[in-house]
Structure 1
């Protein structure tokens, strides 16, 4: 066979070779298994929360004990079924969960599900804005510190990161209020909006509870500006706390890939440092970064409790603090369960993203 025929045959073989499918059956099997793991995870968390909440007695005695006559207290306990065996209450509670019934609060007699839907939007909005702050501050500074390792800029960024994640969020919040609301008087100290914007939201037929979206529905840029002005300080307080973790995380992982063999080989070929960072060192460093970022997003919801209390931001964290003070275990249980579900879902999303970036994660 001539050389031209051999080349043509090789070319045909190369042409007919099927392309590698990155989204193979193994990927979808991995995703399915991770998704199914959400069910036992949430079930275990629900079970732990239920029995821990009942460890100090029934919810009615915890919330209203000492404020009702003994006969009235017993009547309410019996009416709510809290005098039945604990395992029977547990089975009934699981049945209610399957139908979307989380019970009724003891202190204000509201369905727990309505508390979650009404105040949950505020917490998610704060967490979303805080995440934007954390990503905008943490990732660029972490990459910059890695690129200028052991120089003055790197040292300054590391000090900034330590100050961010070592400062308690409530203290940082108080400092931001003191500087921007009291001394400079350029931002509001607390709340989600002024009363004038609140009145505007009351005109909406179907408000979402996400004030940014509701302001866009109104089409009033002054309301949107008011929402963002109120959100700036709490999102900075919570976002900078997480940004400190992101800076050190990005710096550490990018430096570790910078010293790997394939990056050194690319550097010896004369590849610029910027290209080394963007094309060679950044993507391999993403897997541990994304994993820890997912955990930080979940922890951000826990940090929202102190942040919302500091800024009187009426979300789930603010309400959780109030219900804990009132010992309203039914409300606390519902809020904690919702947060547990969010944590499980966030971990699932992180697993999916990690598998898309690096196929080795699937095996």
Structure 2
């Protein structure tokens, strides 16, 4: 087990290196970052001067080697549009994206696992057919369309939930009382012990989490249904059934755990999909996370910021896949061999 974990951990290094290299050269296809961001606003002489100061007039391979050296030291540079250090940008907005993805994972599990069990329990009957249709709609409908529909119904028409943002203006003022705030709003609200503030944070998270969680919830529903049906046909389940074990107990106590192994296995890939969907979700709900800022910096053609954000997302995906592989090995010992 230790050797398996070590090998999977070491594989993170070449994965991140390859992604970092690809992102670096793709960002240079349209030219250097200064020309892309400021080319239409500076005179040719001023543009040439800034390019020389930043080192973008040197050969591309030299720029790449210098970039690798800075990354090893933890220096990702700063944005051109607002001169914010990339590391500060990643800490500030990365936590917002992590919080949103966590909420979305909870939504996906709460919806996908129980409904998948229900579909398997009523296999080939009308509840199964209805749930399968809902699952297809869940992962086939564009995230931004779901987000806009949820806003129209629950925010505009019913007025139950906030339209956008992570917290209200009053909540931000309350958060200002914390001496050492964390980047996670819910954690800070719990630290204050303010029930109204906790409700404020969670109410802003409901619609974005549902919009993003439905994408993965539909996948989980199909996986649980398919694998639970296969597990229920195993000999040990037939043996338990012959001893008079009730059908609901067979599903929850005997067949569910093996059926969850594929979900854990694909969790890393689903997190990558969620991070991709977070760009549209955060933009739709003005949830100021990495996805929202990525869209803003792309519009401003600030490729240094885009490169840093994409790099962090790649690292998150690589680490998530590593953790998923370890959890899968703990659940199913056959994974190691």
| TM tier, smaller | over 0.9
Hey, what does 1:257 align to over in structure 2? 231
Instruction: Give the 5 Å matches for 1:154-303.
Output: 154-303=128-277
Q: 2 CA distance for matches of 1:208 and 1:89?
A: 35
Q: 2 CA distance for matches of 1:120 and 1:293?
A: 19
- Residue 315, structure 1, aligned to residue 325, structure 2: no
Q: 1 CA distance for matches of 2:194 and 2:332?
A: 44
Q: 1:92 aligns with which of 66, 69, 86?
A: 66
Give the drift of 1:324.
Answer: 0.8
Report the aligned-residue RMSD.
Answer: 1.3
Hey, what does 1:19 align to over in structure 2? none
SS at match of 1:282: helix
Hey, what does 2:123 align to over in structure 1? 149
Give the drift of 1:159.
Answer: 1.6
User: After the TM superposition, which parts of structure 1 deviate over 3 Å for at least 4 consecutive aligned residues?
Assistant: 268-271
Give the drift of 1:219.
Answer: 2.5
- Residue 129, structure 1, aligned to residue 103, structure 2: yes
Q: Is the 8 A contact 1:146 1:254 kept in 2?
A: yes
Q: 2:52 aligns with which of 78, 81, 97?
A: 78
With structure 2 as the length reference, what TM-score do the two structures score?
0.97
Q: Is the 8 A contact 1:295 1:347 kept in 2?
A: yes
SS at match of 2:165: coil
Give the drift of 1:275.
Answer: 3.0
Give the drift of 1:254.
Answer: 1.1
- Residue 356, structure 1, aligned to residue 330, structure 2: yes
Q: 2 CA distance for matches of 1:286 and 1:142?
A: 11
Q: 1 CA distance for matches of 2:186 and 2:205?
A: 10
Q: 1 CA distance for matches of 2:316 and 2:209?
A: 19
Structure 2 unaligned residues grouped into runs of 5+: none
Structure 1 unaligned residues grouped into runs of 5+: 1-26
Q: 2 CA distance for matches of 1:216 and 1:272?
A: 41
Give the drift of 1:360.
Answer: 1.0
Q: 2 CA distance for matches of 1:209 and 1:294?
A: 24
With structure 1 as the length reference, what TM-score do the two structures score?
0.90
Alpha carbons of structure 1 residues 216 and 284: separation in structure 2 relative to 1, 3 Å: closer
SS at match of 2:136: helix
Q: Is the 8 A contact 1:253 1:289 kept in 2?
A: no
Bigger shift: residues 239-248 or 260-269: 260-269
Q: 2 CA distance for matches of 1:146 and 1:96?
A: 53
- The higher radius of gyration belongs to 1
Hey, what does 1:8 align to over in structure 2? none
SS at match of 1:67: coil
Q: 1 CA distance for matches of 2:78 and 2:189?
A: 31
Q: 2 CA distance for matches of 1:267 and 1:330?
A: 61
| Deviations 1:86-108 (CA, angstroms, capped at 9, x unpaired) | 11111111111111111111111
Aligned length: 337
Bigger shift: residues 278-287 or 185-194: 278-287
Hey, what does 2:92 align to over in structure 1? 118
Alpha carbons of structure 1 residues 52 and 163: separation in structure 2 relative to 1, 3 Å: same
